[in-house]
Structure 1
Amino acid sequence: MALPGQERVISCFETQTDFVVFAQQMDTNDIFVLNLSKTFELQSIHFFNQLKFTKLNCVKRAMDNGFILVGYEVLQRQSKIKIALLDEQLNVVNEKILPVSGADQWAECVVTLQNGYLLVGGHKTIGSNWYQALVIRLDENLEIIWSKTFGGSSDEWFSNLCELNDGFLCVGSTESYGSGQADFLVVHLFQNGYITWWKAFGGPGWERAIGITQAKDGIMVVGPSNSFTKYNSTLLIKVNSRGQKIYQKTIDPSADFIVKGIVSSNNKDLFVIYGEVWNDQFRKDLAYLIIDNQGEILQKEIIQMNNDQNFCQILLLSNSNFLVVASTENPYTSDDILLFLITR
């Protein structure tokens, strides 16, 4: 989908009548939305005249069928968490910079709760050289109910999270704890923000947890790793709600693989790990792996094209269909939005 500029696709949603794709113009920071028909024909493009993020990181469904956008905006040389609420017609109903003290903050991901929102990211206090992992609970009006930081003697940050029956599980990276240069950071919090347990997982090299999804009998967490193979591969851990490790595996597609996330089937018995592989022509191709509940690879697919590709998301449409949401290099317009419908 070639547009006159450099676009970064953020997220895609299916509605009853169409698909809604959020993206950001990289040269102007403008946020825009594409409305596509069920056959992926472009119906309209909606630009927001005043809504800007230095970087928009995540878009999720909000309460009342709207959307919540999180990221950061640079103000006076400092990154500040920015958040916006849109209604179903894409009208901006609330927008604010969160009043969090410190030198730099950003939000990586957000989930919608029954009566508010929870977001995660990173935070650096004034005068400190290290980042702390950050969690913020908001009410429906985007007012802060509580915030929590987690840190040590080096850098920590959160990349993703999911809501459980007894609280929240936040995942990211720690350089202060664990056995390697950087390890998976997995932290469980109650609804009131109290940290009940935390764990670090990894090897002697670098790991960072970036994807999380629930299985029938636990929680699956994935991220890039260089501890167990000569090239970048995927570390997969499965834990229960008490932080006990069910298993840990290296998902090795026999190539340098940059994992971007994981999604589960509706039955939570099959999972798709997606990202990019480096091919022999030193080009990034889209790739996905279908695994079972034990982490065994059932299917591996590589989508080869002439230019570099960047995976954004897999949107499950049914147990047999899913939509690949990505960006592709274009020699004339730089990065363009790329959509693939996959039928198994």
Structure 2
Amino acid sequence: MKKNLLPVAAAGLLLSLIIVVSYFFLFSTPNVIKPKAFGGEKYDSARAMVIDEKNNFILAGMTMSYGPGYVNPYWLKISPSGRLIKQQAYGGKGDDRILAITARRDSGYMMAGHTNSFGAGGQDVFLLRVDENGKQVAVKTFGGKETEEGRSIIQGNEGGYLICGASASFGPGNYSAYVIKTDSDGNCVWAKTYGGVNVSQAYFAAGTDGGYLIAGDTTDGNLGKRDMWLFKLDGQGVMLWEKFYGGIHSDTASCVFTEGENIMLAGDTGIGQGRYSDMYLAKLGPEGGIIWEKVYSMAGFQSLKSAAGSKDGGFILAGVTAEADGRGQTDIIIIKTDSSGDVLWTKTYGGSQDDFAAAVAETADGKIALAGWTNSMGAGDYDVYFFKAGSEGEF
């Protein structure tokens, strides 16, 4: 009598299907990651983000929940599925903050910010090197007897790193833009200040054809109370040209990056004109001439915090908004544009309290990753906030 092998075959097929499906859910990268909070019982925030070669998300910021001091540098590694792999705090006994991060060419990361635990003055530029697992390798400080701030760090064109920020110790003004070039170990190669006799600050840097683009704002311009300020340096820090942008009120440039030979400049415009500010994006020629500029006007207050290009030729702008129809007191806003800066869609994110954006990036699979901080969810006063949305901002 022959045995009926059909049930056995069906069971084997079902088992194979279960194994395949389980493997998919365990090891595949999800299309989206819904908002997550990380941190302790006190204040924690992410201020910068990079994505490594394995599609892990590396966040850098500050924490009051962990570490030896009042405010401490904070590093987090999040898996492609949104799981916290590792977190680490650093610093001294005082107030030490990280505002920027870049990957090293070999392995590990360089983070920049400012410190009053170490250095020569009341507050100095702080450079922190860690390995790929977040272990501290070296600390460097830069500055004089007064106050310095580090706000951006990028890889140098010929090795090393470029940090930009502001200085009250050096330069002709009350506050001057401060740019530091280091070698691969973080030792200073040159440090220079830029600006006039009033207040000038640098917020963001980008590398370009052997030199650097520096974006910030200044009260030494010729347009308004405070102008967007963009200048180009050669590899030795010599200024090649500078441009001012904005209107009769206050404007600030907080992000710059290149698109081929052209320059993308983003920031805020209309601050202090008796109403709220608007987000701003401009496409500039190789020497800073305006090709087009866009102002994104909405009800309430908006402020740009990060911008990036996307694979489809458009742009992703991330910031904060206090518009009347938002979810909470302050919400995160993302604007996606086409290649001409025209809006394709706008989305807001957040809970019933305050939510802040700090960094945005397009992922390898064309989705949108965002890092910041929130007190709408999480365990503490404020917590690190992270999500990966779909290509149209959806979850």
Instruction: Find the counterpart in structure 2 of residue 315 from structure 1.
Output: 361
In structure 1, how many angstroms separate the alpha carbons of the residues matched to 2:171 and 2:49? 39
Structure 2 match to 1:25: 63
TM-score (norm 2): 0.79
Greater relative contact order, per chain length (Cα 8 Å cut-off, separation 6+):
2
Deviation at 1:127, TM superposition (A): 11
Cα deviations by residue, 1:72-127 (Å, 9 ceiling, x for unpaired)? 112686111111211223222221222x3352211110111241111111111379
Q: CA deviation at 1:313?
A: 1.1
Aligned residue among 236, 243, 247 for 2:288: 243
Bigger mean CA offset, 243-252 vs 161-170: 243-252
User: TM-score, with normalisation over the residues of structure 1?
Assistant: 0.90
2:285 is aligned with what amino acid? N
Alignment check: 8 A CA contact 1:71 1:83 kept = yes
Tell me whether 1:329 sits opposite 2:375 in the alignment. yes
SS at match of 1:64: coil
Asked if 1:9 is matched to 2:46, the reply is yes
Runs of 4+ in 1 over 4 A off after TM superposition: 49-53, 126-129
CA RMSD across the alignment: 2.6
Report the equivalent of 1:109. Answer: 152
1:65 matched to 2:65: no
Q: Which amino acid aligns with 2:244?
A: A
Is 2:350–2:376's contact at 8 Å kept on the other side of the alignment? Answer: no
Out of 203, 208, 221, the position equivalent to 1:164 is 208
CA distance in structure 1 between the partners assigned to 2:299 and 2:287 by the alignment: 33
- The structure-2 alpha-carbon separation of the partners of 1:144 and 1:65, relative to structure 1 and needing over 3 Å to count, comes to same
Q: How far apart in 1 are the matches of 2:362 and 2:55? A: 16
Which deviates more, 179-188 or 86-95?
A: 86-95
In 1, Cα distance between equivalents of 2:188 and 2:259: 31
Give the AA of the match of 2:361.
Answer: L
The percent identity for this pair of structures is 18
TM superposition shift of 1:169:
0.6
Alignment of 1:1-344 (within 5 A): 1-2=37-38, 3-15=40-52, 16=54, 18-26=56-64, 28-48=70-90, 54-74=96-116, 78-98=122-142, 100-113=143-156, 114-125=158-169, 130-216=174-260, 218-226=262-270, 230-266=275-311, 269-280=313-324, 283-318=329-364, 320-330=366-376, 333-344=380-391
1:35–1:321 distance in 2 versus 1, CA, 3 Å: same
**What amino acid maps onto 2:197 in structure 1?**
S
1:285 alignment partner AA: D
Contact 2:173–2:197 (8 Å) recurs in 1: no
Output the amino acid matched with 1:219: I
Deviation at 1:207, TM superposition (A): 0.6
Structure 1 residues 63, 315: closer, same or farther in 2, change over 3 A? Answer: same
Which segments of 5 or more consecutive residues in structure 1 lack a partner in the other structure? none
- Structure (1 or 2) with the greater strand fraction: 1
Cα deviation for residue 248 of structure 1 reads 2.6
SS in 2 for 1:307: coil
Q: Is the 8 A contact 1:29 1:53 kept in 2?
A: yes
The structure with more radius of gyration: 2
With over 3 angstroms needed to count, the CA separation of the structure-2 counterparts of 1:342 and 1:262, relative to structure 1, is same
User: May I ask how many residue pairs the two structures share in their alignment?
Assistant: 342
Structure 2: gaps (5+ residues):
1-36
Letter in 2 for 1:14: I
